[in-house]
Structure 1
Amino acid sequence: MKAKPYISLLIILSVLFVSCNQSDQNEQIDTPVSGKDTVYVEDILLPYFSAAKPRYDSVFEHADITLISVNARRGMSLLFADSANCVILSRDYLQDEDSIRSALKLPFKQIEIAKDGLVFFVNTSIPIDTLNIMQLQDFVNGSSINTVQKSTTLHERLIIPSMQSSEYAALLHYFSIKDKPLPIKTTIMEDRKQLKKHILSNNAIAIGMMSDVLKDSSVKPIRIGYVDSSKRRIPPQIVHPGFIVQNMYPLIVPIFAYMKNDKQNLAWGFATFMEKDPEVQRILLKQGIVPTHARYNLIRED
């Protein structure tokens, strides 16, 4: 009977020993190539990275990554709330986010995977093909867009996916002063397909991402003239990813994987694979975004 406490003690020690071993193993599982994690991906980007994920899965059999759709603002909120190791968004920090990050000295890291472009578009029946940056600046600040040669006036409202979208963040970045609210009146349509349907039956102008807008031939992206950093006037060019590659599109949008810190964990491994793998780069390019670190052979079409 006296041996029972000794045996019980042995059992308890054994359980503790096994638990410690299991705990150590669990900590070791989360490596750049194995483990389990969730990556939050902006809604407009989710189809692109979902298309690339089978390539990742085929290479890393012991990695279990789940992709979850979020809007851009929500994704950033999850990062700041310490609720995500990685979020993938097609925008940079907004000013308030950057100020908070700097003030709190948060150790976030950015991995630039690809680029897209902010596009203004209308329905194909509207006889407006080109605008310059100053015309767009005036429009965003509340003026009507009038075409001299066609005398067509667009509605004084801009159709946007939502205030939480990367499209709106890009609009703020390029046309707002210190991310202040824009004077233009907006109509919000969170469903991008419905937004395009609205454009088809209205003299309205909308914003979208190049990768998405170019997939729909029923709408027309507006060619934009601008003045580059060397004060050279660049005439309106066809809206095409090739001009993003050449850094000749005026409204380029970065696509970042935001990491909670610089730890080389599973989420980091996924993000860097999306960034650097040549097959993933081909898949993402086919989806319409421009991988930042891919090599390109541009052929000019006459």
Structure 2
Amino acid sequence: MMKKEWLIVMLSLVGFSACSRKPKDGLTDTYTSGVIIIAADESFQPIVQEEVDVFEGINTLAGIVPRYTTEVNAINLFLKDSVRVAIVTRTLTPKEINSFHSRKFFPQEIKLATDGLALIVNRTNTDSLISVRDIQRILTGKVKEWKDIYSASHLKNIQFVFDNKNSSSVRFVVDSLCKDKPLSKNLRALNNNREVINYVANTPEAIGIIGVNWLGNRSDTTNLSFRNEIRVMSVSSEDVATPDNSYKPYQAYLFYGNYPLVRSIYVLLNDPRNALPWGFTSFLTSDRGQRIILKSGLVPATQPVRVVDVENKQ
């Protein structure tokens, strides 16, 4: 029997036999023991899972059960008190905070890391420089074919794919790139980041947008190489992308702000009992938890970043 299943069974038996000693809210977890479900944006599944595995290895009586889902669903679960921890890319709105306050809850919003959104293309596509302006033109339907951006391209219609229609990636392009302009009807939403990688790897005309921590080459401790099955584009803030003004989502370029497609990762926490949700969140922001983020290629909120010179940033 797996550790998490064993914990659930044992804690259920303990809870059944000691029901008279349960607190009024029915929760029995402590700062370092018990089982809880958390919600996490699917974009961060690789790094969240590693954090969970290490935390459970240290706290052998604790079980963290992640529910990887869209950002919209993760926040809805948090708002409904279905989970006490959500890992997402935005803070709560004033309306959402007021909803908690009306119930005498005072949730915390803790920055965990800085993330980047990567643009990926098929390995056969040699056009790997793109400007934010051209990304906007693709997303809003002003550009539909590869030759409209790269005149020498032999590819035809651009197939832009997202991980999910309710994902944080979609919200980012709507809020930060397109400034609420309507998105093209030719865009396609799949189910998750893994499907985007597979689709782009098998579709020469495709371009996908995914979280940077899905790109990591685990054998490269310098975080200077990406997955082999796709090509990562270099992005420029200038209107015309050139090798000198375009950057890939390397950790140092996220840290210094050279790479334009960046966003923050937050832990939303609602745990007035100071129990396991606080214990796990404290681990995420601790030196050890932040070092896991550092190793993943993201920029931790508190851990210093080791800057490595990149001779060829493309």
**Compared with structure 1, are the counterparts of its residues 239 and 69 closer, same or farther at alpha carbon in structure 2 (3 Å cutoff)?**
closer
Could you tell me which runs of 5 or more consecutive residues in structure 1 were left unpaired when the two chains were aligned: 1-17, 228-233
Report whether the alignment pairs 1:84 with 2:86.
no
**Compared with structure 1, are the counterparts of its residues 82 and 151 closer, same or farther at alpha carbon in structure 2 (3 Å cutoff)?**
same
Q: Distance in 1 between matches of 2:185 and 2:231?
A: 21
Map of 1:297 onto structure 2: 306
Q: Distance in 2 between matches of 1:105 and 1:25?
A: 19
Could you tell me which runs of 5 or more consecutive residues in structure 2 were left unpaired when the two chains were aligned: 1-17, 217-225, 239-243
Per-residue deviation at 1:220?
1.5
Per-residue Cα deviation, 1:189-228 (whole angstroms, up to 9, x for no partner): 214334333323331221111221354222112111116x
Q: What secondary structure, in the 3-state scheme, does the structure 2 residue paired with 1:111 have?
A: strand
Q: Distance in 2 between matches of 1:155 and 1:272?
A: 47
Q: Which residue identity does 1:40 align to in structure 2?
A: A
Q: What secondary structure, in the 3-state scheme, does the structure 1 residue paired with 2:247 have?
A: coil
Q: Distance in 2 between matches of 1:19 and 1:149?
A: 71
Q: Distance in 2 between matches of 1:197 and 1:65?
A: 29
Map of 1:223 onto structure 2: 234
Q: Which residue identity does 2:264 align to in structure 1?
A: P
Q: Which has the larger radius of gyration?
A: 1
Map of 2:256 onto structure 1: 246
Per-residue deviation at 1:252?
0.9
Percent identical residues: 17
Map of 1:37 onto structure 2: 36
Per-residue Cα deviation, 1:154-191 (whole angstroms, up to 9, x for no partner): 5244211111222222222322334x642352112214
Report whether the alignment pairs 1:202 with 2:204.
yes
**Residues 127 and 150 of structure 1 are in contact (CA less than 8 Å); yes or no, is this contact kept in structure 2?**
no
**Equivalent of 2:294 in 285, 293, 301:** 285
TM-score (norm 1): 0.77
**Compared with structure 1, are the counterparts of its residues 198 and 70 closer, same or farther at alpha carbon in structure 2 (3 Å cutoff)?**
closer
Map of 2:186 onto structure 1: 185
**Compared with structure 1, are the counterparts of its residues 204 and 35 closer, same or farther at alpha carbon in structure 2 (3 Å cutoff)?**
closer
Report whether the alignment pairs 1:266 with 2:309.
no
Map of 2:173 onto structure 1: 171
Range with bigger deviation, 182-191 or 134-143: 182-191
Q: Distance in 2 between matches of 1:58 and 1:218?
A: 32
Per-residue deviation at 1:273?
1.0
